[in-house]
Amino acid sequence: MRFARSMVVAAGLVVVAGAASAQVVEGNEAVRVMPDGTRKVETPPSSAAASKAKPCAANVGCHAGPWHMVEAAGGLRECTEPFARPTTCRESTYGSQQLSRVWVAKRGATWLWCQYPDLKKKCVDMNVRPPLNLPVSAVQ
């Protein structure tokens, strides 16, 4: 009986550890860990059109598309846009709530939308003209 309980606890820890480790995009060059252990995080530059438009606040309910998962200075955030302006983001619910999501990451000088938190999966350049830049979201 003790063995069975131990196995259930161990399985639960594996699931929790798996969810926690998936909260970053491996290889995302926008996040750098400095020699002193601090994290330096870049967010995508805002476009001219986005700068003029009033952003959809994360807590208002006006957002109809997938949530943009952006690594910010305070950790992983869910945002209504990829630029992570302060009012457009909220705490991440990844691992506890199933939502349509795209992951924002950087490879070299290119900002990407990725279907999953993995640069080897479906990723598209955010700055290419449509229809080639249409992100593929996934409920996760």
Q: What is the 3-state secondary structure (H, E, C) of the chain?
A: CHHHHHHHHHHHHHHHHHHHHCCCCECCCCEEECCCCCEEECCCCCCHHHHHCCCCCCCCCCCCCCEEEEEECCEEEEECCCCCCHHHEEECCCCCCCCEEEEEEEECCEEEEECCCECCCCEEECCCCCCCCCCCCEEC
CA dist., res. 69 & res. 76, Å (int) = 7
Specify burial of residue 66 (Cβ count, 10 A radius: 0-12, 13-18, 19+): buried
pLDDT at position 14 is 37
pLDDT at position 50 is 66
Band of the pLDDT at 131, cuts 50, 70, 90?
Answer: confident
Beta carbons within 8 Å of 118's beta carbon, 6+ residues apart = 25, 26
Which of 29 and 6 is assigned the larger pLDDT? 29
pLDDT at position 51 is 67
Mean pLDDT value of segment 129-133: 76
Beta strands at 123-125 and 110-114: parallel, antiparallel or unpaired: antiparallel
Beta carbons within 8 Å of 20's beta carbon, 6+ residues apart = 95
For residue 7, pLDDT over 60 is answered with no
For residue 11, pLDDT over 80 is answered with no
